[in-house]
Structure 1
Amino acid sequence: MDTLPWSRPVRFETDVGRYRILVSTEEASHFLLNDWPQVTGPRLIDARRICLDVMAGTDEPDNARTAFVAACKEADIRVMP
């Protein structure tokens, strides 16, 4: 299972004035499965699949990061630069 950090962390707003920082596919996978808001869509499904692929060793960690950011945008979750 991949536990290496991403090349850059992702900082995003979980509630007004509350932020969270994720640094790895493992953290993103946990958030996507346990803490994701009720919003669903194709980018969420892609992000979950890619996280599983990375943890299985068949994809690259930064692809999970990119997919996580895309899912955030789809759900109108504000990602900090």
Structure 2
Amino acid sequence: MNRRLCNEFLGQPWHLGRFDSSACGTANVFSAFTVMRVLPFHHVTIMTGAAGRVLNIASVEEATECLLQHWPPDEKGRKYRAARQVCLDALEGKETAKHARSAFIAAAKEADIYIRERTPSLANP
């Protein structure tokens, strides 16, 4: 099913994505195609491992990918683990994008890679 048909079929913004549970630290390596909702939020800017490079994270999907695949290995503390779980729960529809964003910001601050966030203006919610 292509993206356009998938969107029409489900009647809301969704996309086809590949989920690899081995990135979550599970013993069972599972890879399948899943349907995930598109969950945008106001972007958060973080530092990357490359000197002077920044990354804007603007959705739950991007935050999840960053947490699972690009997070500094020595910075996976309590807030990282909480953010990872909240983001995965949001992808399953059990949490909100707003909560996932807040958890991601807390984890970035804990890891000392947080730079800034784009705050919603009153004119542009």
What 5-or-longer segments of structure 1 have no aligned partner?
A: none
Q: Distance in 2 between matches of 1:40 and 1:13?
A: 15
More helix by proportion, 1 or 2? 1
Deviation, structure 1 residue 26: 0.5
| Aligned pairs for 1:10-29 within 5 A | 10-14=44-48, 15-29=50-64
Deviation, structure 1 residue 10: 0.7
Deviation, structure 1 residue 32: 0.4
- Of 89, 94, 119, the match for 1:53: 89
| CA 16–80 in structure 1, closer or farther in 2 if over 3 Å, else same | farther
Deviation, structure 1 residue 17: 1.8
From the CA coordinates, give the structure whose radius of gyration is larger. 2
**Which secondary structure state, in structure 1, belongs to the residue aligned with residue 37 of structure 2?**
coil
Number of aligned residues:
80
Other-structure match for 2:43: 9
Question: Normalising by structure 2, what TM-score?
Answer: 0.60
Q: Give the residue type in structure 2 aligned to 1:18.
A: R
- The reply to whether residue 42 of structure 1 matches residue 78 of structure 2 is yes
Aligned-residue RMSD, C-alpha: 1.2
Give the 4+ runs in structure 1 shifted more than 6 A. Answer: none
Q: Give the residue type in structure 2 aligned to 1:11.
A: T
What 5-or-longer segments of structure 2 have no aligned partner?
A: 1-35, 118-125
**Which secondary structure state, in structure 2, belongs to the residue aligned with residue 54 of structure 1?**
helix
Percent identity at matched positions? 41
**Which secondary structure state, in structure 2, belongs to the residue aligned with residue 46 of structure 1?**
helix
Question: Normalising by structure 1, what TM-score?
Answer: 0.90
**Which secondary structure state, in structure 1, belongs to the residue aligned with residue 54 of structure 2?**
strand
